[in-house]
Amino acid sequence: MAAPPVQPVPPAAAAAVNGDAFRLGFVGAGNLAESIARGVAASGVLPASAIRTAPHRRPERGEAFASFGACLLQTNAQVVDDSDVIVISVKPQIVKQVLLELRPRLSEEKLLVSIAAGIKMQDLQDWSGQRRIIRVMPNTPSAVGQAASVMCLGEMATQDDENRVRKLFSAIGKVWTAEEKYFDAVTGLSGSGPAYIFLAIEAMADGGVAAGLPRDLALGLASQTVLGAATMVSQTGKHPGQLKDQVTSPAGTTIAGIQELEKGAFRGTLISAVVAAAKRCRELS
């Protein structure tokens, strides 16, 4: 399949709803970059014409960006030259190479945003020669607009920079700001956490099948139950233990199930999973 034609970039392409006009470039056009770009365009934070990237070596990546109106350029160097905010969204193992290649085109007039997992702020600064950097750790639910993202600011990132990046990532979910020293723990919790919940949904569905439910009904009930429970915690502001107590009647079905979970060290196992993933992240970074 032929790659989509490179689109000309209209002058003054960006004009956000709040009047904060800027151009957003993605160095790396993978699935996560696409999710962010789509969310930004769909939410109205920026028009699609303000978003640009260079086509990936796989033609379908360029087609994905072109499908919602983003501008396609020939090279990453052109993306940097024609963007005010540059998102580094390549695989972690090539971040150093990419930043060293782009370093002559970077300046403090441009805000650099890295979503590369495990790449520390100090390395980003050393390789890019920049100090105006924000590091962001999103997670895979960004694909459905339900990301949990955490960001930390580099030495020269301003309050305006933080607000701008918060708006961008709020288009795909919720955003928190934290010191970089917490990022390994963030990876262990929200970065790896979706996999823990996928396992829980699968296990709950298997339990439904074991209790006699058809597979499709069991999976639907399990996934909706997890979604509903998470929404209750998020929207009510109540402690999950309080919500658990509200559905746990004396000598009832729920407490019988919870007793089995406690026998299997359910809570302790989840705690250990987060700690183990955080430890592995420290080892790898």
- pLDDT above 50: residue 16: no
Residue 71 falls within a domain, yes or no? yes
Residue 199 falls within a domain, yes or no? yes
Residue 14 falls within a domain, yes or no? no
**Nearest Cα to Cα of residue 188 among 283, 91, 92:** 283
* Mean pLDDT value across residues 55-61: 82
Residue 69 falls within a domain, yes or no? yes
Task: Single out the residue in 182, 211, 226 at which a domain terminates.
Answer: 182
- pLDDT above 80: residue 83: yes
| CATH number of the domain enclosing 78 | 3.40.50.720
Query: Whole-angstrom Cα distance, residue 187 to residue 200?
Result: 19
Query: Whole-angstrom Cα distance, residue 61 to residue 227?
Result: 30
pLDDT value for 106:
94
List, as residue ranges, the binding site.
76
Residue 73 falls within a domain, yes or no? yes
**Residue 2: which pLDDT band, with cuts at 50, 70 and 90?**
very low
Please check whether residues 164 and 273 belong to one and the same domain.
no
**Residue 21: which pLDDT band, with cuts at 50, 70 and 90?**
confident
Please check whether residues 43 and 76 belong to one and the same domain.
yes
Residue 187 falls within a domain, yes or no? no
Full-model pTM: 0.86
pLDDT value for 10:
38
DSSP letter at 191 equals: I
- In the block, tokens 């723990």 appear at 185
% residues pLDDT > 90 (the chain): 87
| CATH number of the domain enclosing 221 | 1.10.3730.10
Work out whether the CA dihedral 141, 64, 37, 156 comes out positive or negative. positive
Domain that residue 142 falls in: 24-182
pLDDT value for 55:
81
DSSP letters along 80-139, please?
A: HHT-SEEEE-S-GGGHHHHHHHHGGG--TTSEEEE--TT--HHHHHHHH--S-EEEEE--
**Residue 284: which pLDDT band, with cuts at 50, 70 and 90?**
confident
Average pLDDT, the chain: 91
Domain tally, the chain: 2
Please check whether residues 96 and 161 belong to one and the same domain.
yes
List, as residue ranges, the binding site for NADPH.
76
186 Cβ contact list (under 8 Å, min separation 6): 137, 150, 178
**Nearest Cα to Cα of residue 150 among 133, 165, 129:** 165
Query: Whole-angstrom Cα distance, residue 158 to residue 255?
Result: 50
Please check whether residues 45 and 178 belong to one and the same domain.
yes
Residue 101 falls within a domain, yes or no? yes
- pLDDT above 70: residue 38: yes
